[in-house]
Structure 1
Amino acid sequence: MTVKLLHHTEEGPASAPALLLGPSLGTSLALWDEVAPELSAGHRVIRWDLPGHGGSAADLIRPGATVGDLAALVLELADALGVDRFAYAGVSLGGAVGLHLAVHHPERLTSLAVLCSSAHFGGAAPWRERADRVRREGLDGLAESADARWFTPGFSVPRLVRDHREADPAAYAACCDALAAFDLRDRLGAITVPTLLVAGRQDPATPPAHLREIADAVPAATLVELPGASHLAPAQCPREVLAALRAQLDGPPASGTAVRREVLGDAHVDRAQARQTPFTARFQDFISRYAWGEIWTDPTLSRRERSLITLTALVAHGHHDELALHVRAARRNGLTPEEIGAVLLQTAVYCGVPAANSAFATAQRVLAEEDADRG
């Protein structure tokens, strides 16, 4: 018998550590559009839709559902994808799912990030009233007020508002049932996984006090408050959310030598060190400390972005040996052959056709060698 799964997308290397991203009520996996591609440089990013939202079937949820039921669907998805342990980040209802997993299934999580969420959502009555209203009237009325509930004045993401309007009313109401029944305040002290809490200072739905309550109860939790952010922080403040998640997922900056090995590969670094002489030792130390220890570890740009820039610079200056090295590095940093080709095509405009022609020949050789190695 085939198990019906939550609709989902995958980005990033299949061999990278898994990261599951959960949505807020009324939205879809598009909530993470401005954040997920950057995170996929170093993670296998799996975004999922709530039942009846986005591409997920409405019959995955029933009236009277609980957050535990949603968490069970997430675990079914992870199992089907062969993911045993994973980092998890979720917004609002998606964050509640993460809290449930951390309390009841800590062995599955490597870390937890809870964004614009709560250990309780203001009591059962308002959510039961909303569920009853949606079952009677549908979602058009609520969708009209989505911007005011989700964002600060003047900000909107039309795609998310459309997703709200197009969600299945019965499934949306069942998710309201889950929020009505959710209260983990007395279990927060049992959470042992590394936990990040992100609050939007202008969030009327789950104000910063809700996240502080969790931070005070969860041992060694980290709380970040984002000025200018309301309830859907990944859509409104993606750079700030990305920085917070990177710090959570990647930990303290690695040493220059460690980053050099991660980007260029052990074989290259081992060869460089084997060739080192007293004459070149200071230069090798300079590269490790300055290029890899300061520039490549700066979180302002992702490694993926740095690969794009580096490829362009190497083409412009005709450094073909270094270009071959960094084509391999770009693949490690998550770039596809198609993206590498697009970068080289761009250099034809700004660096000249002959330079791009040589670059394409170098990149094609390297990519063919990679294919042969995999084959």
Structure 2
Amino acid sequence: MTRTLLNHRAEGPESAPPLLLGPSLGTSHALWDKVAPELSATHRVVRWDLPGHGGSAPDLIGPGATVGDLAALVLGLADSLGIERFAYAGVSLGGAVGLHLAVHHPERVTSLAVICSSAHFNGSKPWEERAELVRREGLAALAENANSRWFTPGFTVPRLIEDHRNADPEAYAACCDALAAFDLRDRLPEISVPTLLIAGRQDPATPPAHLREIADAVASATLVELPGASHLAPAQCPAAVLTALRAHFDGGAERGMEVRREVLGDAHVDRAQARQTPFTARFQDFISRYAWGEIWTDPTLSRRERSMITLTALVAHGHYDELAMHVRAARRNGLTPEEIGAVLLQTAVYCGVPAANSAFATAQRVLAEEEGDDGATG
């Protein structure tokens, strides 16, 4: 039976914001092996294979294919997974698909990252010649010199070279046809979603000037240039790519600070910020980015559930000053005094009666303050 959907791999919670990752010509979704698992901590990551690459059927496209045809396959995949709107990141041809989606289907794309790609690929002739060569001779010769096109000297990823060698020649040639016909320069000003552009400074295929051209035309664009990176930056410089993508898609410390204020209250956060020194600044940034920007924003658990877990952990370790702060946070997150009491009673069983006794005293004091009652704790 003919398959009609692109082969794909999904990672991360189904309830998390969706993020689609597109590959470069000649590679599979293995291009994202060192980046996707980390992104899946905060997103439902779906990485897909081009037709005839990896596990995708070669007959999904044919001669004369366009980037629009590939974009339609991506939308079909998203529809099949119940994904209406999504963030998108793509490399080279995968990045061109992202640009097409942002121009022609802006209602589907929430934010965009274009990596080592372009709004055009140096005219049609080189791609027409490559398509003709591949249809005539196959992919062995191209795979042999893939390292020089993809990476800086001395670096390689054998899995990706093997993917190149094993791609279907007709499907690969059809993807070359798509690159030959692609030129979106006149439409770039129409892109309105937040757009991140990542260029490899040593990329011979789509040098930084190609990404700067997009940055100059897209009002909401940010450009990052990676020293030491060639064409397949996610494989060669995964940490740098991951850092840039996280900041773009997650909001990083900014989003973390927003959630921190929502849970702990402005007064507490303002006091913490006022006490910050150069010595503690990195730790405060770590808390905002990781604890609040990644863990507390993960939609797998509700904030109510996270408050209950946090109260239990603080009792278990005897952190009663922090417990007072998180009793207030639990109230903001919707827990009633009765529910907080039930959580602390549970800790009496599993953390010990003395720990729970101190916890009840702390919680009662905080709840009394919240109610404007100066009654004694016991």
Determine if the TM-score, normalized by the shorter chain, exceeds 0.5.
yes
Determine whether 1:294 maps to 2:294.
no
Partner of 1:68: 68
**Per-residue CA distance 1:124-181 (angstroms, 9 max, x = gap):** 1110110111111111100000000000000000000000000000100000000000
Determine whether 1:44 maps to 2:44.
yes
Determine whether 1:321 maps to 2:316.
yes
Q: Report the alpha carbon displacement of residue 12 of structure 1 after superposing the two structures with TM.
A: 0.7
Partner of 1:162: 162
**Per-residue CA distance 1:264-299 (angstroms, 9 max, x = gap):** xx6xx69xx9xxxxxxx9799559987985322247
| 5+ long unaligned stretches in structure 2 | 299-312, 319-349, 352-378
Partner of 2:330: none
CA contact (8 A) 1:98 1:114 kept: yes
Partner of 1:142: 142
Structure 1 counterpart SS, 2:9: strand
Partner of 1:348: none
Specify whether residues 138 and 259 from structure 1 end up closer, same or farther in structure 2 by C-alpha distance, changes over 3 A only. Answer: same
Specify whether residues 137 and 225 from structure 1 end up closer, same or farther in structure 2 by C-alpha distance, changes over 3 A only. Answer: same
**Per-residue CA distance 1:69-94 (angstroms, 9 max, x = gap):** 00000000000000000000000000
| 5+ long unaligned stretches in structure 1 | 274-280, 308-317, 324-360, 363-375
- Between the aligned partners of 1:53 and 1:178, the Cα distance in structure 2 is 15
CA contact (8 A) 2:252 2:293 kept: no
Specify whether residues 282 and 175 from structure 1 end up closer, same or farther in structure 2 by C-alpha distance, changes over 3 A only. Answer: closer
- Between the aligned partners of 1:301 and 1:79, the Cα distance in structure 2 is 31
**Bigger Cα displacement from structure 2, 283-292 vs 148-157:** 283-292
**Per-residue CA distance 1:50-75 (angstroms, 9 max, x = gap):** 00000000010101100000000000
Partner of 1:78: 78
CA contact (8 A) 2:200 2:207 kept: yes
1:79 corresponds to which letter in structure 2? D
What does residue range 22-61 of structure 1 map to in structure 2 within 5 Å?
Answer: 22-61=22-61
Partner of 2:206: 206
Structure 1 counterpart SS, 2:31: helix
Q: Aligned residues: percent identity?
A: 71
Q: Report the alpha carbon displacement of residue 24 of structure 1 after superposing the two structures with TM.
A: 0.1
- Between the aligned partners of 2:112 and 2:214, the Cα distance in structure 1 is 12
**Equivalent residue pairs, number:** 300
Specify whether residues 50 and 2 from structure 1 end up closer, same or farther in structure 2 by C-alpha distance, changes over 3 A only. Answer: closer
Q: Report the alpha carbon displacement of residue 17 of structure 1 after superposing the two structures with TM.
A: 0.5
Partner of 1:353: none
Specify whether residues 28 and 320 from structure 1 end up closer, same or farther in structure 2 by C-alpha distance, changes over 3 A only. Answer: farther
Structure 2 counterpart SS, 1:47: strand
Q: Report the alpha carbon displacement of residue 246 of structure 1 after superposing the two structures with TM.
A: 1.0
**Per-residue CA distance 1:298-341 (angstroms, 9 max, x = gap):** 4799947xx9xxxxxxxxxx978369xxxxxxxxxxxxxxxxxx
- Larger gyration radius, structure 1 or structure 2: 2
- Between the aligned partners of 2:90 and 2:10, the Cα distance in structure 1 is 16
Q: Normalised by the size of structure 2, how large is the TM-score?
A: 0.72
- Between the aligned partners of 1:184 and 1:7, the Cα distance in structure 2 is 27
Structure 1 counterpart SS, 2:206: coil
What does residue range 74-153 of structure 1 map to in structure 2 within 5 Å?
Answer: 74-153=74-153
Partner of 2:334: none
- Between the aligned partners of 2:261 and 2:11, the Cα distance in structure 1 is 23
- Between the aligned partners of 1:94 and 1:3, the Cα distance in structure 2 is 21
Structure 2 counterpart SS, 1:110: strand
- Between the aligned partners of 1:28 and 1:195, the Cα distance in structure 2 is 24
Determine whether 1:227 maps to 2:227.
yes
1:245 corresponds to which letter in structure 2? L
- Between the aligned partners of 2:291 and 2:154, the Cα distance in structure 1 is 27
- Between the aligned partners of 2:256 and 2:17, the Cα distance in structure 1 is 21
Determine whether 1:197 maps to 2:188.
no
Determine whether 1:173 maps to 2:138.
no
- What do you get for the CA RMSD once the two structures are aligned? 3.2
CA contact (8 A) 1:259 1:296 kept: no
- Between the aligned partners of 1:289 and 1:255, the Cα distance in structure 2 is 21
Q: Report the alpha carbon displacement of residue 35 of structure 1 after superposing the two structures with TM.
A: 0.6
1:321 corresponds to which letter in structure 2? A
- Between the aligned partners of 1:164 and 1:24, the Cα distance in structure 2 is 10
**Per-residue CA distance 1:5-42 (angstroms, 9 max, x = gap):** 10001111100100000000000000001111111111
Q: Report the alpha carbon displacement of residue 252 of structure 1 after superposing the two structures with TM.
A: 5.3
Structure 1 counterpart SS, 2:170: helix
CA contact (8 A) 2:201 2:207 kept: yes
Structure 2 counterpart SS, 1:107: coil
CA contact (8 A) 2:215 2:221 kept: yes
- Between the aligned partners of 1:152 and 1:159, the Cα distance in structure 2 is 17
- Between the aligned partners of 1:208 and 1:18, the Cα distance in structure 2 is 28
Partner of 2:333: none
Partner of 2:363: none
2:287 corresponds to which letter in structure 1? W
CA contact (8 A) 1:256 1:293 kept: no
Q: Normalised by the size of structure 1, how large is the TM-score?
A: 0.73
CA contact (8 A) 1:255 1:293 kept: no
- Between the aligned partners of 2:274 and 2:83, the Cα distance in structure 1 is 34
